[in-house]
Amino acid sequence: DYDNKWISVFSSDGKYVNHIGDGFLQGPKGVAVDTEDRIIVVDNKCNTVLVFHAGGKLIHKFGFRGNWSEQLAGPHYAAITGRCDIVVSDFHNHCVKVFGSNGKFKYSFGSNGEGNGQFNAPTGVAVDEKGHILVADWGNSRVQVFDSSGSFLSFVNTASEPLNGPQGLAVMSQGVVVVADSGNHCIKYYKYLQ
């Protein structure tokens, strides 16, 4: 809940349960939950990532504004790998950064540009069951697929299946990704890595 500066929690049937992060967050954008039920929140305004227990207690936070390895500039979304690493889209640094569950920087990939593996303001990120990292490349209107180390593999969409400012991503089973296509005001489904 960006305007209220907290994360609203709902039951699986859509009923409001509570909210967390009140007093800690300035501009929450992306949220992910790891296998230990920790809630990972990307704070876009503070350029930080905060990790909470499921009950709402802050465990730790990391990141601050800048362009060095451990710094972020307008982070948008987070995803969790099978090893509980935290994958963060770094919008203004035009890259994706991967941190350990403790917040320690591990590696980054991507740079500003239009080529394979380059980004123009990445937003949504997702990780599939094989460890592939999918990235919504907002400014280049595409979704790219990388292996678990950040090496480029392919694009999801093609010229015949265009996107316009993709944002959120969700990976489904059997190589299907759901894309929030903000510029076309719709949700699209794509099969990838067939």
The arrangement of secondary structure in 7-159, i.e. its CATH architecture, is 6 Propeller (2.120)
Burial class of residue 8, CB neighbours in 10 A (0-12, 13-18, 19+): middle
E strand spans, 105-165:
105-109, 122-127, 133-137, 142-146, 152-155
What is the amino acid identity at position 114? E
89 close to 99: Cβ distance less than 8 angstroms:
no
Query: From CA 62, how far away is CA 193, in angstroms rounded?
Result: 33
158 — pLDDT class (breaks 50, 70, 90): confident
Query: From CA 13, how far away is CA 91, in angstroms rounded?
Result: 33
- Report pLDDT for 194: 60
Query: From CA 129, how far away is CA 93, in angstroms rounded?
Result: 27
Domain boundaries, the chain: 7-159
For 93-125, how does the pLDDT look when each residue is reduced to its tens digit (9 = 90+)? 999 999 999 999 999 999 999 999 999 999 999
For 30-52, how does the pLDDT look when each residue is reduced to its tens digit (9 = 90+)? 999 999 999 999 999 999 999 99
- Residue 4 makes CB contacts below 8 A (sequence gap 6+) with 19
Q: In the 8-state DSSP scheme, what is residue 38?
A: P
Residue 146: strand pairing partners? 133, 152
Query: From CA 86, how far away is CA 103, in angstroms rounded?
Result: 8
- Report pLDDT for 39: 98
Asked if residue 159 has pLDDT above 90, the reply is no
**166-172 and 86-90 as β-strands: parallel, antiparallel, unpaired?**
unpaired
Asked if residue 72 has pLDDT above 70, the reply is yes
